[in-house]
């Protein structure tokens, strides 16, 4: 089985907007995805949560689109849509029946060109409330909900842009003003800071003409402030631990490590390692901790790729009732360290490769995923063609590559261990919880 | 033209490309097993789903959870592939074997490159037909389920779902419990009971295998016959299993609510209230299905549904609110689902109830109707972009015993729904005067206001939470 090649064009409009078009007529659908090179890493102290709050404001209308009309028009056209914010970027996407492509392009252009015309205090206050409720339901009112924010705090020093959570703090959300929002838009939401990818049932010449028409006259911002140096030492330099009491029935460990940046071939090897460690019932951690020793209720291990200094490799294990959490921690760490000491077997590697091949093919079936990956690779690595080389890179990973990256990453002095324990005292849940580190 | 002139003109849609739901062919093997092959050109990954039309709703109450546990235990080893060898064999093909049970079906599935379809089906057959249910693994999976139930109590959004089902259905309805069973029944399940339910489920005359993807060069009925032709023929000669379910009839789904009642599960300090509002809803075979779906989209299905526009975009009470009917073979629940900041609990419930009344009292506008219909019709090709989605939809027709042309007729029937149909569907199927309002939240903050609001009798449940007993293991579960 060979992966189908994604053919695409890649060009820049005179205002700097990067346009990628991948034509494929299998289904009458088209994916539109626009990535802005701005994420929570661009936030400054006192204004955390801003990139994400701004993402919500992008759905509150622009000069020719009323509040909530963006959703209404896309859905009435039979499309689906959303936006997401993460450390390195913010993205917006629509998947449309192919005859509705022009509508999606117009909607994205109108808000890139004229968002501030529709911005007002009422809309900002409303979306601030919505985002605060998103924070409550996704993190504050959820058992173990703060684990990723805690890992960020431990893995990156306080002055580093990855130290704070993308959702921000309640205080900073409260403090966001209309002027802040407007300045953020003028700074980062410029065509020369964006990549627009279109994939699926599209006529490239027609799409190019529409993009030129709707986006071509939007002014660039020649003064997008560069981020400072985000580099960090490749390892933490010492183990970092925290015990958190929470309203949870079972203790759970979270493990975090600094890992090679997104795009580094060593991260490919780490992802194959993660598959062998915890990808399904045939994996090492599942087999030992869940199935054989029966000390864990569940296990997971995965890598989250970032471009600014280090990625995060993370794992978790929920402790079975009656089991000493230390026993679970030791077993988990032993399996990670064993990967650095001895090569994985040929059979383990063959199974991991076969599964990864299927996952990649499965993901690339959909137009929304193809558009998203092209925009991502162009935004973060300036290399959209990696979409066609990534599978080959995974399949080329050797046992020696895995051993080498495991030895680099899974070191005690590069490790964060968070242990959630059932709370023993009165509830300490507050909306304004301060970071512990 | 200036940029302003360009942007001031909204584009109009182009000519839609024709789309038809993929046609499929059905073969019935001598055993009674139906084989459905659906060709989806250009898709190198093939989805295969073997479905038995019998599920958790069909099991006896005192063994609740046995069907789900049996399905999950099937991947723990077979006669030919003991232990994890079955999983490993599938992984070598680049595929993962899944087995699970829902209320209405028991299913095993695999996704694999077309060139390896036969090898994957052989593993699927082995999995379904010859699982050994090792006692050690069964007890481990049972304990994992019990631990998961423990975790559920600490997760407001899962706890409220369970409490909602328990509140709206009478105790003799299977839907009053969880499909995976509750503590009291799961802890008593044994290997013998799993073996018995497995044997009872395995009847080829209520089974279908649906295979979709680029099937060029593959004679699917022949491969299916060669690999699965003898599926379960042995089982039908086995002595009648004690747990033999009475499949084929809709499960009991009586309402336990005859007037509006409020039940609040206390969580001290909770920053949000998880809220469910609703009652016993509808079976998938309801005659006005399409009108109900349009109505539910306007009320709480669309991004810009009435509930979203009110509770989120106007009031900012919540990150999101939805409403809809979970349609099963029997009458599944109708519910409004949201999580709201604690201080807004009572006004959020009032607004949600207002929207339920408004849906019944007045006609939806032409614009509302157009958006909902156009969305459901327009999004249809997007829903079926991959073979997995196509196979899943055809499996749903089989489980619910719907006609083969149900999906082909869908868009025309949605387009024909009128505002009057929507109002009739709301009046027939939404009952704001006799529903349950179930919450997980801080009773110390919202309890008094809830009583004062007069929605209905308020019951406050103060349950001991597993996380607060101090010592892990002090709950008597597990090892």
Q: Which of B45, B341, B478 is nearest residue A365 as measured by Cβ atoms?
A: B45
Residue A16 DSSP label: S
How large a percentage of chain B has pLDDT more than 70? 94
Taking residues A61-73, what's their average pLDDT? 96
Q: Which of A126, A143, A323 is nearest residue B155 as measured by Cβ atoms?
A: A143
B106 vs chain A: nearest CA distance in angstroms? 20
CA distance B243 to B58: 10
Per-residue pLDDT at A363:
93
Residue scoring higher pLDDT (B237 or B251): B251
Whether residues B316 and A77 touch (CB distance < 8 A) is answered with no
Q: Which of A201, A217, A320 is nearest residue B3 as measured by Cβ atoms?
A: A217
Give the confidence band of B282 by pLDDT, cuts at 50, 70, 90.
very high
Any A CB within 8 A of B454 CB:
no
Can you give the pTM of this predicted structure? 0.94
Q: Which residues of A touch B140 (CB under 8 A)?
A: 291, 294
CA distance A123 to B386: 38
Q: Which residues of A touch B479 (CB under 8 A)?
A: 294, 320-323
Q: Which residues of B touch A14 (CB under 8 A)?
A: none
Any B CB within 8 A of A427 CB:
yes
**B375-400, pLDDT tens digit by residue?**
999 999 999 999 999 999 999 999 99
Per-residue pLDDT at B472:
35
Residue A395's CB is within 10 A of a number of other CB atoms, namely 16
Q: Which of A75, A294, A355 is nearest residue B479 as measured by Cβ atoms?
A: A294
**B248-273, pLDDT tens digit by residue?**
567 888 999 999 999 999 999 999 99
**A219-235, pLDDT tens digit by residue?**
999 999 999 999 999 99
CB proximity under 8 Å: A 49-78 to B: 63-64, 67-68, 71-72, 75-78
Per-residue pLDDT at B235:
56
CB proximity under 8 Å: A 184-213 to B: 201, 210, 213
Any B CB within 8 A of A139 CB:
no
Look up the ipTM and state it.
0.93
Q: Which of A142, A294, A351 is nearest residue B140 as measured by Cβ atoms?
A: A294
CB proximity under 8 Å: A 353-392 to B: 354-355, 357-358, 361-362, 365-367
**A238-263, pLDDT tens digit by residue?**
999 999 999 899 999 999 999 999 99
Taking residues B203-212, what's their average pLDDT? 93
Whether residues A102 and B11 touch (CB distance < 8 A) is answered with yes
Average per-residue pLDDT for chain A: 95
Per-residue pLDDT at B239:
43
- Nearest-CA residue of chain B relative to A126? B316
Q: Which of B93, B316, B380 is nearest residue A354 as measured by Cβ atoms?
A: B93
pLDDT above 70 for B196: yes
Per-residue pLDDT at A179:
95
Give the confidence band of B243 by pLDDT, cuts at 50, 70, 90.
very low
Per-residue pLDDT at B232:
73
Contacts of B182 (CB under 8 A, 6+ apart): B64, B65, B149
- Nearest-CA residue of chain B relative to A324? B472
Residue scoring higher pLDDT (A434 or A264): A264
pLDDT above 80 for B234: no
Any A CB within 8 A of B145 CB:
no
CA distance B374 to B376: 6
CA distance B183 to B65: 9
pLDDT above 50 for B241: no
Per-residue pLDDT at B465:
74
Q: Which of A27, A76, A201 is nearest residue B375 as measured by Cβ atoms?
A: A76
**A292-322, pLDDT tens digit by residue?**
999 999 999 999 999 999 999 999 999 999 9
Q: Which residues of B touch A106 (CB under 8 A)?
A: 7, 10-11
Element (H, E) at A50: helix A50-57
Taking residues B78-95, what's their average pLDDT? 96
Per-residue pLDDT at B437:
98
Give the confidence band of A332 by pLDDT, cuts at 50, 70, 90.
very high
**A117-130, pLDDT tens digit by residue?**
999 999 999 999 99
């Amino acid at each position: 089985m060979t992966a189908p090649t994604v053919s695409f064009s890649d060009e820049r409009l005179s205002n700097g907007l990067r346009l990628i078009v991948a034509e494929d007529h299998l289904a009458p659908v088209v994916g539109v995805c626009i990535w802005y090179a701005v994420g929570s890493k661009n936030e400054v102290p006192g204004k955390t949560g801003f990139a994400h709050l701004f993402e919500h404001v992008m759905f509150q209308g622009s000069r020719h689109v009323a509040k909530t009309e963006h959703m209404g028009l896309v859905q009435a056209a039979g499309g689906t849509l959303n936006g997401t914010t993460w450390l390195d970027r913010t993205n917006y996407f629509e998947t449309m029946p192919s005859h509705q492509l022009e509508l999606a392009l117009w909607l994205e252009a109108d808000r890139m060109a004229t968002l501030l015309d529709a911005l007002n205090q009422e809309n900002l206050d409303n979306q601030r409330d919505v985002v605060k409720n998103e924070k409550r339901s996704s993190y504050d009112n959820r058992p173990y909900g703060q684990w990723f924010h805690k890992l960020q705090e431990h893995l990156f020093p306080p002055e580093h842009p990855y130290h704070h959570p993308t959702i921000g703090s309640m205080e900073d959300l409260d403090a966001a003003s209309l002027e802040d929002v407007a300045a953020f838009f003028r700074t980062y939401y410029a065509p020369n800071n964006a990549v627009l990818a279109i994939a699926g049932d599209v006529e490239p010449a027609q799409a190019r003409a529409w993009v030129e028409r709707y986006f071509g006259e939007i002014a660039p911002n020649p003064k997008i402030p560069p981020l400072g140096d985000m580099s960090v030492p490749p390892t933490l330099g010492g183990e970092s631990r925290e015990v958190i009491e929470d309203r949870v029935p079972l203790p759970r460990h979270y493990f975090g490590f600094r890992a090679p940046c997104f795009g580094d071939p060593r991260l490919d090897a780490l992802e194959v390692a993660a598959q062998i460690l915890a990808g399904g019932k045939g994996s090492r951690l599942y087999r030992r901790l869940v199935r054989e020793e029966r000390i864990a209720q569940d296990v997971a291990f995965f890598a989250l790729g970032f471009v600014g200094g280090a990625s995060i490799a993370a794992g978790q294990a929920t402790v079975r009732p009656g089991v000493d959490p230390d026993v679970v921690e030791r077993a988990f760490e032993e399996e990670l360290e064993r990967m650095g000491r001895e090569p994985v077997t040929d059979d383990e590697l063959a199974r991991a490769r076969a599964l990864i091949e299927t996952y990649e093919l499965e993901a690339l079936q959909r137009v929304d995923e193809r558009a998203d990956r092209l925009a991502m690779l162009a935004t973060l690595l300036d290399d959209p063609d990696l979409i066609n080389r990534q599978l080959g890179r995974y399949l080329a990973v050797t046992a020696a590559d895995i051993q080498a990256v495991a030895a680099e990453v899974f070191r005690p002095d590069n490790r964060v261990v968070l242990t959630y324990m059932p709370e023993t005292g009165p509830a300490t849940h507050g909306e304004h919880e301060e970071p512990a580190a | 033209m200036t940029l302003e002139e360009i942007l001031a003109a909204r584009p109009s849609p182009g000519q839609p490309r024709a789309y038809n739901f993929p046609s499929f062919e059905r073969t019935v093997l001598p055993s009674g097993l139906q084989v459905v092959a659906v060709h989806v050109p250009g898709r190198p990954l093939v989805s295969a789903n073997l479905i038995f039309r019998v599920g958790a709703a069909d099991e006896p109450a005192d063994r609740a959870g046995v069907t789900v546990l049996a399905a999950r235990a099937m991947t723990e080893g077979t006669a030919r592939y003991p232990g994890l060898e079955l999983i490993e064999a599938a992984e070598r093909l680049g595929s993962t074997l899944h087995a699970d049970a829902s209320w209405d079906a028991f299913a095993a599935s695999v996704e694999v490159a077309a060139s390896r379809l036969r090898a994957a089906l052989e593993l699927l057959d082995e999995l379904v037909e010859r699982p050994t249910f090792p006692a050690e693994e069964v007890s481990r999976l049972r304990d994992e389920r019990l631990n998961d139930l423990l975790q559920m109590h600490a997760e407001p959004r899962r706890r409220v779902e369970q409490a909602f089902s328990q509140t709206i259905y009478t105790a003799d309805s299977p839907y009053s419990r969880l499909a995976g069973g509750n503590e009291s029944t799961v802890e008593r399940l044994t290997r013998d009971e799993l073996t018995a339910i497995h044997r009872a489920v395995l009847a080829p005359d209520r089974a279908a295998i649906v295979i979709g993807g680029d099937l060029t060069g593959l004679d699917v009925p022949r491969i299916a016959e060669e690999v699965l032709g003898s599926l379960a023929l042995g089982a039908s000669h086995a002595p009648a299993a004690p747990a033999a379910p009475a499949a084929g009839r809709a499960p009991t789904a009586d309402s336990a609510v005859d007037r509006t009642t409020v039940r609040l599960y206390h969580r001290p300090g909770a920053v949000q209230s998880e809220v469910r509002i609703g009652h016993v809803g509808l079976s998938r075979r309801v005659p006005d299905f399409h009108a109900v779906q349009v109505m539910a989209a306007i009320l709480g299905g669309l991004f810009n549904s009435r509930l979203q526009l009110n509770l989120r975009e106007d009031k900012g009470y919540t990150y999101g609110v939805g409403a809809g009917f979970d349609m099963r073979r029997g009458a599944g629940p109708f519910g409004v689902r949201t999580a709201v900041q604690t201080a807004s609990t009572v006004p959020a419930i009032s607004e949600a109830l207002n929207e339920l009344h408004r849906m019944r009292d007045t006609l939806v506008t032409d614009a509302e109707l157009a958006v909902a219909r156009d969305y459901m019709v327009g999004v249809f090709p997007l829903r079926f972009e991959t073979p997995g989605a196509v196979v899943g939809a055809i499996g749903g027709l089989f489980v619910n015993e719907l006609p083969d042309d149900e999906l082909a007729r869908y868009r025309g029937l949605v387009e024909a729904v009128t505002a009057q149909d929507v109002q009739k569907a709301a009046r027939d199927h939404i009952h704001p005067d006799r529903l349950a309002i179930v919450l997980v939240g801080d009773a110390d903050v919202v309890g008094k206001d809830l009583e004062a609001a007069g929605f209905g009798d308020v019951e406050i449940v103060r349950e001991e939470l597993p996380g607060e007993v101090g010592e892990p293991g002090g709950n008597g579960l597990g090892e």
